[in-house]
């Protein structure tokens, strides 16, 4: 049973990129830089490869109440977890119509081999969205 006032959100957008920033002149405007669907590792670069940052922009709607959010990265074929963030506490309030734009940054993600990887978003420990990218 879910505690009173807690409603799981719908993930409207989950964008992987190199950087996300709020416009200093308009904090409701989000700038996405370096959209990430394929990462090219130079052929002479040894594996494992360290991906310095994956920025994740999430637009959530319909959620209410306090929650713990986290992200994890998996190698898609093997399901091996290669990175996990600590839980982040947020309060989505009580307005079911309010959208919440959240920015997460994953630092120093270890890529063990070329292939497809998956970033998963967890809300109170439950995976509710995922996004894939390829490493070539």
User: Residue 87, Cβ neighbours under 10 Å: how many?
Assistant: 14
Where along the chain do its domains lie? 10-135
Sheet holding 99-111, edge to edge: 26-35, 10-23, 49-61, 99-111
d(CA 92, CA 126): 16
Domain boundaries 10-135, corresponding CATH code:
2.60.40.10
- Reported as a single tens digit per residue, the pLDDT across 40-91 is 999 999 999 999 999 999 999 999 999 999 999 999 999 999 999 999 999 9
Can you give the pTM of this predicted structure? 0.91
User: How wide is the angle at C-alpha 51 spanned by C-alphas 99 and 11, nearest 5°?
Assistant: 20
pLDDT tier at 96 (50, 70, 90 boundaries)? confident
Is the pLDDT confidence value at 118 over 80?
Answer: yes
User: 1 Cβ partners below 8 Å, 6+ apart?
Assistant: none
Quote the pLDDT of residue 50: 94
């Amino acid at each position: 049973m879910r505690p009173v006032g807690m409603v799981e959100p719908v993930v409207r957008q989950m964008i992987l990129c190199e950087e996300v920033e709020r416009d200093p002149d308009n904090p409701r405007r989000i700038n996405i830089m370096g959209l990430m669907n394929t990462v090219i590792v130079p052929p002479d670069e040894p594996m494992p490869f360290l991906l310095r940052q994956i920025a994740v922009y999430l637009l959530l709607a319909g959620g209410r109440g306090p929650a713990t959010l986290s992200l994890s990265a998996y190698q898609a074929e093997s399901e091996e977890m290669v990175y996990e963030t600590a839980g982040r506490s947020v309060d989505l309030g009580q307005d079911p119509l309010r959208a919440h734009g959240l920015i997460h940054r994953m630092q120093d993600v270890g890529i063990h081999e070329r292939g497809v990887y998956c970033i998963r978003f967890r809300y109170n420990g439950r995976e509710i969205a995922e996004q894939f990218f390829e490493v070539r």
